Amino acid sequence: MRKRSCSGDANTRMNPVKPLDQTFVIVGAGLAGAKAAETLRVEGFDGRLVMIGAEAERPYERPLLSREYLRGEVGREKVYVHDEDFYAANEIELRLGRTAVSLDTSTNEVALDDGKRVRYDRLLLATGAEPRRLSVPGEALDGVLYLRSVADSDVLRERLDRGGSVVVIGAGWIGAEVAASARQRGLDVTVIDPLGVPLERVLGTEVGSIYGDIHSDHGVRMLMGTGVAALEGSTAVERVRTSDGRTLDCDFVVVGVGVQPRAELAAHARVYVDDGIVVDEHLQSSMPDVFAAGDVAMAHYPFYGRRIRVEHWSNALHQGPVAARNMLGLSDRFDRVPYFFSDQYDVGMEYSGFARGCDRVVLRGDPEEREFVAFWMFEDRVMAGMNVNVWDVADPIKQLIRERVAVEDRDLADPDTPLEQLAYATRGGAA
């Protein structure tokens, strides 16, 4: 049975403070915002707590939106972060369907799209990310779909119900999961991407090609190494013209070409923004009262000695609470090894680490059997590891990375050498 790792690095705990007369505002009612709100109450914050969310839904989690929820296997009740009565019970003023349109860091005020202003003592920006748009002729035709919200997933699910053929533009995580779900629902699926193999940016060519084979084996037509020249049709998209001159007929198109952080509020308020809102390891921005967490935050990772913006569930789950504690004046550091997961068909995986700068890949197990672990190495250290249909190994993988354990390729490649033995040989304890 699959078991995913939710454990991680221990955070500092200090005595809670209770700023009774203060107002804390969270902009962005997603996973990071919701976990921050929960943590503020758990830590004893009993001031006013306002949470502003542009979507009509209370906070929900997105991973099921490209998988079980999209395929109609689970209902809406499975996606929410908290029960419906959680917010009222915890005196969290949830303002849904409301967008924060500007921020004034000199008066500590957030302006909303209904003209109201909310004053804050501490502000958390957890505004997430939004899909990058395709910029080709025909991009505005009906049937050109994106997937970020539960509403997007509903629209896409209705398309899957109708069957037919879909072209998925972009072979990243969203594109790959949508392609798998569409195939599982019996549609004709073509995936197109200018890179040579799916998921190449993160996995590289060797491991990405294994995912290419998995999709091909399930009957997906993988058109790698070519881009989109135009989308064509009268009012709705009917075909995709590729940059290498092919024409692909289709009933609809799904675009998954990455996301960009929603950092405009911060940028206009002169909070330092780079590829996301720049925050330190306490998730505090260049303005001391303003914090950021989740997909929008470009955080300094002490372990890596650099800033990284991570667009994954686990990051939002854990950064929200760290930001909340630091809003209360505590001193938590966020310094986890990045971690994410993906499910495509019957292939589940977990990825830990950050593979930039690696010089080779070591494989343990059999990619043909779809049961293996890949390690991205630099010299004798593991930079990142991905377990595919192999479970309960994410913690030792994180330990190998975090403790910079020196390992031999042959030990990593040998399934009879337990990873725990390599990871905990010198130090003991869990990652």
Ligand X SMILES: Cc1cc2nc3c(=O)[nH]c(=O)nc-3n(C[C@H](O)[C@H](O)[C@H](O)COP(=O)(O)OP(=O)(O)OC[C@H]3O[C@@H](n4cnc5c(N)ncnc54)[C@H](O)[C@@H]3O)c2cc1C
**Which residues contact ligand X by CB under 6 A?**
27-33, 52-55, 62-63, 65-66, 99-100, 126-129, 147-148, 174, 262, 265, 294-295, 311-314, 316, 340-342
The DSSP result for 188-251, as a single string, is: EEEEEESSSSTTHHHHHHHHHHHHHHHHHHTT-EEEES--EEEEE-SSB--EEEETTS-EEE-S
Q: Which is nearer to ligand X, 189 or 362 (CB)?
A: 189
The pair of three-digit structure tokens given for residue 124, joined into one six-digit string: 């958390």
Q: Which is nearer to ligand X, 4 or 306 (CB)?
A: 4
Q: Which is nearer to ligand X, 50 or 405 (CB)?
A: 50
Q: Least Å distance between CB 259 and ligand X?
A: 8
Q: Least Å distance between CB 369 and ligand X?
A: 23
- Look at strands 122-125 and 252-255 and give their pairing: unpaired
85: CB partners within 8 A, 6+ apart: none
Q: Least Å distance between CB 46 and ligand X?
A: 24
Task: Looking at 128-199, list the stretches that DSSP marks H as alpha helix, in order from N- to C-terminal side.
Answer: 150-162, 173-184
The type of residue at 338 is P
Q: Which is nearer to ligand X, 67 or 402 (CB)?
A: 67
CA angle 386, 390, 396 (to 5 degrees): 60
To the nearest 10 degrees (0 to 180), the angle between helices 313-327 and 31-42 is: 40
Q: Least Å distance between CB 54 and ligand X?
A: 4
Which of 422, 32, 319, 358 shows the shortest CA–CA distance to 431? 422
Q: Least Å distance between CB 202 and ligand X?
A: 12
Asked if residues 220 and 179 have their Cβ atoms less than 8 Å apart, the reply is yes
Q: Least Å distance between CB 421 and ligand X?
A: 28
Q: Which is nearer to ligand X, 52 or 330 (CB)?
A: 52
Q: Least Å distance between CB 191 and ligand X?
A: 16
Q: Which is nearer to ligand X, 325 or 405 (CB)?
A: 325
Kindly compute the dihedral angle of the four CA atoms of residues 384, 389, 392, 394, in this order, to the nearest 10 degrees: 10
H/E stretch holding 266: helix 264-268
Q: Which is nearer to ligand X, 309 or 405 (CB)?
A: 309
